[in-house]
Structure 1
Amino acid sequence: MKHLSELPAWRQLWPHYEEMKSVHMRDLFAQDPDRARRYWLEVGGLTLDYAKNRITGQTLNGLFELARESGLPEKMRAMFAGEKINNTENRAALHIALRNRADTPIYVDGENVMPKVNSVLRHMGQFSHAVRNGDWTGYTGQAITDIVNIGIGGSDQGPLMMCTALQTYGHPRLNMHFVSNVDGTQLRDVLEQVRPETTLFIIASKTFTTQETLTNAHTARDWFLRAGREEDIAKHFVAVSTNKEAVSAFGIDTVNMFEFWNWVGGRYSLWSAIGLPIMIYLGEENFIEMLEGAHLMDQHFINAPFEQNMPVLLGMIGIWYINYLGGGSHVIAPYDQHLHHLPRFIQQLDMESNGKQTACDGTPVGTDTGPIIWGETGINGQHAFFQLLHQGTHITPIDLIASLEKRSNLPGHHEILLSNVFAQAEAFMRGKTAEEVRMELQAQGMDGEKIEKLVPHKTFSGNRPTNILLLDKIDPRNMGSLIALYEHKVFVQGVVWGINSFDQWGVELGKQLAKTILAELTGEIPPQPHDASTERLIRLYRRANCEVDGTCDIL
């Protein structure tokens, strides 16, 4: 395979970069009255305004050619055909099959996966109906009031994000809780809020061996057994897993095990049985609407020409900033409080997928790859880190995400919110010149000497890029489209960089080392050789806790 830096289109974009690096977006708008209309795209209930980017038609044409030379069209077709594009694990990456509402056959190893996908969906639907309508009861015969999802990574973040985003669609009797951190305080805080007789635990672990998840699950089980009996576990614990033996050994009836497959990556899994808490909370109909929205984006992605393809546009504009303009991070700023988990979700999706230094062929990539993804709700961000975005020394592209629909009946709130979205995008683009600052301060009656001292501090360079993503409303269909959009954007960039976006070997090393260190911390094994810093940290912990553990005599 050819690396990115070896492609003709890569080299041809560098002279264009030299032309563009000093061009200001103010001038691009002034020179092209039609710019706002041309750099505008609508897909379903999503509208993308990408006019406030440091691009021209020549930039986009060069980026599209780079995508073609990178093999993006072929890779897109390969993913949708079920080919094993996850080459390091010899797996397909078929999250698109989970929301294949057309039910067209998709084959993996010669088997059409759609019958199994649909069977699990039906199983989820039947169980969700039973919980929601009160037919599924706890050991005292009372209806379930609290759902506790115990998982980590993709088994936690997707359901947490979606249930929070769509809480206005949630069942009024059900309270949703999510536990991922092995720090016992999170689980303790949740258990203090719920009652054993009306709580349902969903244990989400593909292998049913994940240390953090199983530690929390066993603690929850012990808590439950202080009130209920062993035979009652089946009424209060269900599993999302593929390991029937381990699920059964835990005490969960395998009839209540919801399956998914190795071609579903964790960060792409909310569409699968991992989405069970979403379906229980929102209902089967709304879950299907979410799948429909994602399928709509899938079809747009595979069929639309690059010039009108929303994931391709976002992905390739991102390549422009990361690999040419030096933008090493990217901000997600949703202007809706119910979307406050979205930045963290996209952070995992992007950074776990494309935080790679090795190409698919095992050689060094040779260029920058995945950016640092970070963010916060937009209004809070304005009073926290937007200072750096406006006047800092870094080029940091920003996605401003908002809903056109008013989400509350409180007068004036939504107009204030949206005015900030539009104003921030304009301010990032236009900035404020020294002359504009002088005129403003003169109008305030400030004397000349003070003005000149303040001018450098109150000047904004502008030329800071933003994408504005507007949802008609925050509903299951549009949220499905939005998440699928970001999934495909990440895929586009991974293909261009020549990396595998569907493995995550980087999470393994620390977990392996932690097993040995855990045994040292508990005194199960004698101190092992580490670097001097790690050895000192272990000794400090042992000394601080030896009286509690009864191990002071062996230190």
Structure 2
Amino acid sequence: MSEAFKAAWAQLAKHSDPTLADLFAADPQRVDKFTGRLELGEGGILFDWSKTHLTDALIADFTALAEAAGFDEMRRRMFAGEVVNPTENRAAEHSALRGVGREASVEEAAALRERMKLLVQAIHDGALGEVKHLIHVGIGGSALGPALAVDALGRDLALVDVHVVSNIDGVALEEAFAACDPQTTLLAVASKTFTTIETMTNAQSALDWLAANGVADPAGRVIALTAAPEKAVEWGVDETRILPFAESVGGRYSIWSSIGFPVAVAIGWEDFQAFLDGAAAVDRHFRDTAGAANLPLRAAFSDLYYARIKGAETRAVFAYDERLGLLPDYLQQLEMESNGKSVTAEGDPVDGPTAPITWGGVGTDAQHAVFQLLHQGTHLVPIDFIASIAPGDALDPAHHRILLMNCFAQGAALMAGKQSEDPARSYPGNRPSATILCDDLDPATVGALIAFHEHRTFANAVLMGINPFDQFGVELGKEIAKKIEKGGEQFDPSTEALLAKAGLAG
């Protein structure tokens, strides 16, 4: 990395560490200064980073780091469809899928999206017969994104009952079978290469289930979502039911492509388009906003302050909304698969921590489980709280009022603490948190939340000098699993003993 880049990091390490209480006392405008809002048509999202240790001086030095890291140029290259994944010589054009990016890529994405729209509408219009259920099989980004969006948006008035299955454990697939009528079930197979062993094994078992339950043409019930349509044809899928997506779309960034098919089937095309539009609003903000006013970049400043400067090994995300219960799982892959690297984009060893471990849960359940450690434990854990002002239920308003009061109270308590002469009842305070407060949890807002975290992850990567778009770390285990299946290989004594015990020894 350049000398300016190294010097910028060295300057950041020199900052003092005033308490959060001192920061608020010293600056009456702190809330306004470290809060920003994104407008999303009829609603929006408030981002409050005032309860973190960011200061004007830190923001200035992080802005200098962004300049030294070439952030503006890397952002331009990503939106221009140029190579930003050097190890695989690829672009990363997920924003083009929602209409913001290189013109040719936006046009190509629009054509593929129109193809998916026609199929979705045909299903809803009954052209494929009565369809009450969809079993969607995929893994990684091909499952986590659809599962999150369907769970968040398809609870009340789902047009089709969608079950997302990723685990090769047959129990997961059997649960989906038990909830579906085979005569009214479609099967979506999501695989970029259409060779992923877990996905294709699950897909074949789903076909067998359809056939065993009297479906005359099981293959005719399959929709393929893939970047390798020729492989889907070989597998037996009718080419009119193949929804392709571009090779430049990575798995954890793929929900905006045909991988979003189960979302559109569940909630309808109009709401799916709103989901895309919400993400596009974040794209335009991220692309066009300079400096610390850029909300994903500001979030990255906070992330890196705690992970790199203060040594925080984890970052917690707590959604005070049952509909976002899968968000921590989704962010685990997005952040840790993208930025869990040990070399820079140039292939040199990194000189500090990269992605923290992302974890979390749902409020208020988590308060009675892990918050003991957050309030009184010895670990520094920066926290994001995410909530919606509008409730997702029609019960007594007391439910939502109590939910929000608990959310805000936890941030206040973590910051303020409470001293006691009894050490066991003393709270140190000065523990950082950020709050992401949505006006409502509608399709545009969910799309915006996902896109915000995508760009936050990218900004973190650029400021660390790493490539967030490859994921070679997931390959080695797969290779060894294939060797075990093939047989004839010798492994360490522990693995050999486990294979023998399970009856898998070659």
TM range (shorter): over 0.9
- The structure number with the bigger radius of gyration is 1
Which residue does 2:493 correspond to in 1?
532
Tell whether the 8 Å contact from 2:207 to 2:219 is kept in structure 1 after alignment: no
Contact 2:20/2:52 (8 A) holds in 1: yes
Shift of 1:149: 0.2
Please tell me whether residue 122 in structure 1 is matched to residue 114 in structure 2: yes
Letter in 2 for 1:7: K
1:429 aligns with 2:428: no
**Partner SS for 1:300:** helix
Q: Which residue of 2 aligns with 1:26?
A: 21
For residues 308-387 of structure 1, the aligned pairs below 5 Å read 308-387=293-372
SS in 1 for 2:237: coil
Instruction: Report if the CA contact (8 A) 2:227-2:247 is conserved.
Output: no
CA distance in 1 between partners of 2:313 and 2:362 (Å): 21
1:37 aligns with 2:32: yes
Q: Which is worse superposed, 199-208 or 54-63?
A: 54-63
Q: Structure 2: how far apart are the matches of 1:245 and 1:95? A: 23
Compute the TM-score of the two structures, normalised by the length of structure 2: 0.96
1-side partners of 2:433 and 2:402: how far apart? 20
Deviation string 1:348-407 (CA, Å, 9 cap, x unpaired) is 000000000011111101111011000100211111111111111111110000001122
1:62 Cα deviation after fit: 1.1
- Displacement of 1:120 in angstroms is 1.2
- One-letter code of the match for 2:496? E
Give 3-state SS (helix, strand or coil) of 1:536's partner: helix
Distance 2:9 2:228 in 1: 46
**1:264 match:** 249
Contact residue 134 and residue 162 of structure 2 kept, 8 A: yes
- Secondary structure at the counterpart of residue 362 of structure 1: coil
Equivalent residue letter for 2:30: R
Q: Distance in 1 between matches of 2:228 and 2:26?
A: 62
Query: Which segments of 5 or more consecutive residues in structure 1 lack a partner in the other structure?
Result: 107-111, 138-142, 435-451, 520-524, 547-554
TM-superposed deviation, 1:150: 0.4
Q: Secondary structure at the match of 1:506?
A: helix
Do the aligned residues in 2 keep the contact of 1:327 with 1:394 (CA within 8 Å)?
Answer: yes
Please give the secondary structure, in 2, of the residue aligned with 1:480.
Answer: helix
Higher deviation after alignment, 533-542 or 502-511: 533-542
| Deviates further, 288-297 or 163-172 | 163-172
Amino acid aligned to 1:261: A
2:458 corresponds to: 491
Identify if the C-alpha distance between structure 1 residues 327 and 533 changes in structure 2 by more than 3 Å, giving closer, same or farther.
Answer: same
Alignment partner, residue 140 of structure 2: 153
What is the one-letter code of the residue matched to 1:540?
Answer: K
Distance apart, 1:538 and its partner CA? 1.1
Per-residue CA deviation, residues 489-524 of structure 1 (Å, 9 max, x unaligned), is 0000101111110000000000000011123xxxxx
1:95 correspondence with 2:83: no
> 1-side partners of 2:214 and 2:230: how far apart?
23
Q: Return the alpha-carbon distance in structure 2 between the equivalents of residues 14 and 464 of structure 1.
A: 19
Q: CA, structure 1 residues 509+464, in 2 after alignment: closer, same or farther (shift >3 Å)?
A: same
Superposed counterparts of 1:433-444, under 5 Å? 433-434=419-420
User: d(CA) in 1 for partners of 2:13 and 2:493?
Assistant: 46
**1:3 Cα shift?**
7.7
Q: Distance in 2 between matches of 1:234 and 1:184?
A: 21
> 1:36 corresponds to which letter in structure 2?
V
| 2:283 is the alignment partner of 1:298 | yes
Aligned: 1:503 with 2:477? no
**Contact 2:363–2:403 under 8 Å retained in 1:** no
- Letter of the 2:483 counterpart: T
Alignment partner for residue 188 of structure 1, among 167, 171, 174? 174
Equivalent position of 1:2 in the other structure:
2
Is 2:202 the partner of 1:202? no
Displacement after TM superposition at 1:235 (Å)? 3.2
Structure 1 residue 234 displacement after superposition: 4.2
Q: Secondary structure at the match of 1:84?
A: coil
> By how many angstroms is 1:7 displaced?
2.2
Give the aligned residue type for 1:2. Answer: S
Partner of 2:125: 133
How far apart are the structure 2 equivalents of 1:427 and 1:3? Answer: 41
CA offset at residue 57 of structure 1? 0.9
Letter in 1 for 2:148: M
Which residue matches 2:273?
Answer: 288
Matches of 1:417 and 1:346, distance apart in 2: 22
Shift of 1:228: 4.1
Any conservation in 1 of the 2:81–2:102 contact (CA below 8 Å)? no
- Partner residue, 1:393: 378
How far did 1:39 drift? 1.3
Q: Does the residue aligned with 1:331 lie in a helix, a strand or coil?
A: strand
3-state secondary structure, aligned to 1:291: helix
> Aligned pair in 2 of structure 1 residues 476, 465: CA closer, same or farther (>3 Å)?
same
Q: Which residue matches 2:153?
A: 166
Of 239, 248, 260, which residue of structure 2 is paired with 1:254? 239
Alignment CA distance shift 1:244-1:384 (3 Å): same
Contact 1:3/1:498, CA 8 A, preserved across alignment: no
What CA distance in whole angstroms lies between the structure 2 residues aligned with 1:251 and 1:80?
A: 36
Count of matched residue positions in the alignment of Structure 1 and Structure 2: 501
Matched residue SS, 2:380 = coil
Equivalent residues of 2:229, 2:244 under 8 A apart: no
Secondary structure in 2 matching 1:55: coil
- In 2, Cα distance between the equivalents of 1:52 and 1:395? 14
- How far apart are the structure 1 equivalents of 2:337 and 2:98? 22
Cα separation, 2, equivalents of 1:113 and 1:72:
22
Deviations 1:72-104 (A, max 9, x none): 111001100111110001100010100116xx7
Give the one of 443, 460, 484 matched to 1:517: 484
Question: Which moved further from structure 2: 287-296 or 32-41?
Answer: 32-41
**Pair 1:278-2:245 in alignment:** no
Alignment of 1:217 onto 2:203: yes
Deviations 1:224-265 (A, max 9, x none): 1123466x2343111001333331233210111000111100
Q: CA deviation at 1:33?
A: 1.6
CA distance in 2, matches of 1:53, 1:115: 41
1:105 is displaced (CA, Å) by 4.5
**Partner of residue 466 from structure 1, selected from 433, 457, 465:** 433
Q: Which amino acid aligns with 1:316?
A: F
RMSD of aligned alpha carbons: 1.6
Cα pair 1:40 1:47 within 8 Å, conserved: yes
Equivalent residue for 1:15?
14
Q: Deviations over 1:188-245 (max 9, x none)?
A: 1211222221000000011110000000001111111123466x23431110013333
In the alignment, the residues of structure 2 paired with residue 320 and residue 530 of structure 1 have an alpha-carbon distance, to the nearest angstrom, of 42
Deviations 1:134-155 (Å, cap 9, x if unpaired)? 2321xxxxx1000100000000
What letter matches 1:41 in structure 2?
Answer: G
CA distance in 2 between partners of 1:180 and 1:406 (Å) = 30
Amino acid at match of 1:85: V
- Specify the alignment match of 2:394 in structure 1: 409
Q: Deviation string for 1:25-56 (max 9, x for gaps)?
A: 11211222221121110011110111101121
Residue number in structure 2 paired with 1:448: none
> What percent identity do the matched residue pairs reach?
40
Tell me the distance in 2 between the aligned counterparts of 1:484 and 1:89: 23
